[in-house]
Amino acid sequence: MKVLCVGDVVSRVGRDMLFRYVDELKYQKGIDFVIVNGENSNHGRGMTRSCYNEMKRAGADVFTMGNHVWGAKEVISVMEQEGDVIRPLNMQGNQPGCGSVIMTARNGKKIGIINLIGQVNMLPCNSPFDAVEKEIEKIREITPIIFVDFHAEVTSEKMAMGYFLDGKVSAVFGTHTHIQTADAKILDGGTGYITDLGMTGPKDSVLGMNKTIIINRFIHTMPQKFEIATGKGQFCGCIFTVDDENGKCIDIERIYIEEK
């Protein structure tokens, strides 16, 4: 099985990049399933019904979220109606939605997807390490193919999660920092890993935001409203090739495409 995982989709530019490249990658690479982090798809905050519809038409199969999960309130109804949008499993309290889902890929195999959020410099949450172990036990009763989106701020926490889950899941990929890391690898136990997939959105920006505004905030230390950047885009993600029988990762390919 080949699974394409796409990093934080930001705004209209990011959604357009999905339309331009997801189907092409499916055809060229033989992709069986597409996981998209959609928490920034609505102008940088949350995911609306219209954003969901667009990205589904572009070829996404399931959506993971993060700290901006409730940025657009209508995402709750989308979660309830569609069943293919998940929020971080380890969020505190009785919050709407689910933290994992099992779906069927194009090759007919079942795939489990888990969404986690980090504890360092993020929203208050329960331990992602405790939460994910219990969820893996449930999913492995149905399929050994399990993907984990760890939406976290610091590289050390993401790396610790990768090693913690080595041999227990097919792949662990980080999201949230919007910068693609160059450390895609297969760990000793057969788990594919990358610290951050990167951002799918405006390439001439600071994490998807207007760069001039961000620079001025650093220089003058005065509050200023963020604005989404426009212009040409970039597409960031990773393709994991997984053994259908044992769920182990056998190949990993970083994807980085810039519009010229």
Helices 75-82 and 49-57 pack at an angle, to 10 degrees, of 50
Q: Is the dihedral of CA 118, 44, 13, 233 positive or negative?
A: negative
Bridge-based pairing of strands 62-64 and 249-258 is unpaired
φ, ψ at 135 (rounded to 5°): -70, -35
Return the residue matching tokens 């997984």: 242
Bridge-based pairing of strands 146-151 and 171-175 is parallel
Return the residue matching tokens 């609505």: 42
240 in Cβ contact with 171 (< 8 Å): yes
Q: Degrees (nearest 5) of the Cα angle 42, 114, 255?
A: 65
Tokens representing 166 are 């080595």
Determine which one of 68, 151, 176, 178 is catalytic.
Answer: 68
Query: 248: closest CA among 143, 150, 133, 137?
Result: 143
151 among known catalytic residues = no
Query: 142: closest CA among 111, 107, 99?
Result: 111
Alpha helix (H) residue ranges in 94-246:
128-140, 155-164, 211-220
Could you list the active site residues? 68
